[in-house]
């Protein structure tokens, strides 16, 4: 979740021999698990560091909450990079809801990503490919996002724009499918989930610089499940929204 709070874009411009750090704290409300009608509210640390083209923290545009990576290309407009990391916690536990009884837990896994972006003064286009390299059947996802940016004042920046995620059959089956063994244990019908557009979303954010080092911000993302993810017997609610507020210190 740290990737929700801190963009690595600032680190991309760091001098080769200069360290950049961001630390802070955020509070986020998000679905309990993919497809859940319940939400969880938790405090989240914000920790990122960058040295030239290398960084530690959330992998931008790829959905890795915590990891390490490097920019292979970085100039005034274009960035292309790779990252390696994983989930901070299990994406879903059977104990999260009576609806999940008999389906088992979804374990954490190691994730690899390739990501890129094109940015100008008032907009940014981002794309990322995220794959399971830990062998836990999390499959592959591809994300595309477009974001408009506008500086209301010298200190206040607002952003907003749409996005979507495509997921392969392995990811969709793991998170939204029900195999024969799970069906027997849970009483739910067998459900085979296939690849396709997994979700669409629109996000809005605001960042305010209190001082050259201190900042506060907020982010709201309204997401809706699509395709076999939306039609799954596991899914209680197609709408999957996230709200976060945070304070950061850069040094």
| Domain residue extents for the chain | 2-250
Q: What is the largest CA-CA distance in the chain?
A: 60
**Does residue 59 register a pLDDT over 80?**
no
Q: How crowded is residue 143: how many other Cβ atoms within 10 Å of its Cβ?
A: 22
pLDDT tens-place string over residues 203-225: 999 999 999 999 999 999 999 99
Write out the DSSP string of 184-225: HHH-PPPB----EEEEEEEEEEEEEESSSSEEEEEEEEEEEE
162 DSSP β-pair partners: 202
**Cα(50)–Cα(91) distance, integer angstroms:** 27
Alpha-carbon distance of 181 to 184, in angstroms, equals 5
> What does DSSP assign to residue 96?
G
The conformation of residue 180, written as its DSSP 8-state character, comes to: H
- On whether the CB atoms of residues 164 and 125 are closer than 8 A, the answer is no
**pLDDT confidence of 60, banded at 50, 70, 90?**
low
The set of residues, in sequence order, having a beta carbon less than 8 Å from that of 66 and lying 6+ positions away, is 2, 57, 58, 85, 86, 88
Residue 31 scores a pLDDT above 90: yes
Residue with tokens 């019908």: 189
Considering only residues 146 and 86, tell me which one the structure prediction assigns the higher pLDDT.
Answer: 146
User: What is the spatial distance between Cα 213 and Cα 249, in angstroms, rounded to a whole number?
Assistant: 5
Distance CA 226, CA 199 (A): 5
- Confidence grade of residue 62 (pLDDT, cut at 50, 70, 90): low
Contact 224, 240 (CB under 8 A): yes
Q: Model-level pTM? A: 0.90
**pLDDT of res. 132:** 96
pLDDT of residue 57: 86
Which residues lie below 8 Å from residue 142, measured CB to CB, with a gap of 6+? 127, 128, 129, 130, 165, 166, 167
Percent of the chain with pLDDT over 90: 83
Q: Where do we find the tokens 């890129």?
A: 116
User: Are the C-beta atoms of residues 27 and 46 closer than 8 Å to each other?
Assistant: no
Report phi then psi at 32, rounded to 5. Answer: -60, -35
pLDDT at position 61? 63
Determine contact, residues 7/226, Cβ cutoff 8 Å: no
CB atoms within 10 A of CB 19: 12
Q: Please name the CATH architecture into which domain 2-250 falls.
A: Beta Barrel (2.40)
Q: b or e along 231-243 (b: 16 or more beta carbons within 10 Å of the residue's beta carbon)? A: ebbbbeeeebebe
pLDDT at 26 > cutoff 70: yes
* Average pLDDT in the chain: 91
- Per-residue pLDDT of 73-132, as tens digits, reads 999 999 999 999 988 788 999 999 999 999 999 999 999 999 999 999 899 999 999 999
């Amino acid at each position: 979740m740290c990737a929700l709070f801190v963009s690595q874009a600032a680190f991309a411009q760091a001098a080769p021999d200069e360290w950049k750090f961001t630390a802070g704290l955020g509070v986020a409300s998000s679905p309990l698990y993919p497809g859940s009608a319940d939400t969880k509210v938790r405090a989240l640390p914000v920790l990122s560091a960058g040295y030239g083209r290398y960084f530690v923290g959330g992998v931008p545009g790829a959905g890795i909450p915590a990891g390490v990576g490097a920019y292979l290309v970085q100039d005034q407009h274009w960035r292309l990079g790779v990252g390696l990391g994983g989930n901070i916690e299990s994406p879903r536990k059977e104990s999260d809801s009576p609806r999940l009884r008999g389906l088992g837990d979804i374990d954490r896994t190691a994730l690899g990503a390739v990501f890129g972006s094109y940015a100008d003064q008032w907009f940014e286009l981002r794309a990322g490919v995220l794959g399971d390299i830990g062998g836990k059947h999390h499959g592959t996802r591809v994300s595309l996002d477009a974001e408009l940016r506008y500086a209301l004042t010298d200190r206040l920046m607002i952003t907003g724009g749409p996005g979507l995620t495509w997921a392969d059959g392995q990811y969709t089956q793991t998170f939204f499918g029900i195999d024969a063994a799970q069906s027997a244990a849970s009483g739910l019908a067998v459900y085979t989930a296939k690849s396709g557009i997994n979700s669409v979303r629109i996000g809005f954010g605001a960042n305010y610089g209190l001082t050259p080092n201190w900042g506060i911000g907020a982010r709201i993302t309204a997401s809706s499940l699509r395709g076999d993810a939306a039609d799954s017997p596991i899914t209680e609610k197609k709408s999957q929204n996230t709200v976060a507020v945070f304070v950061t210190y850069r040094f």
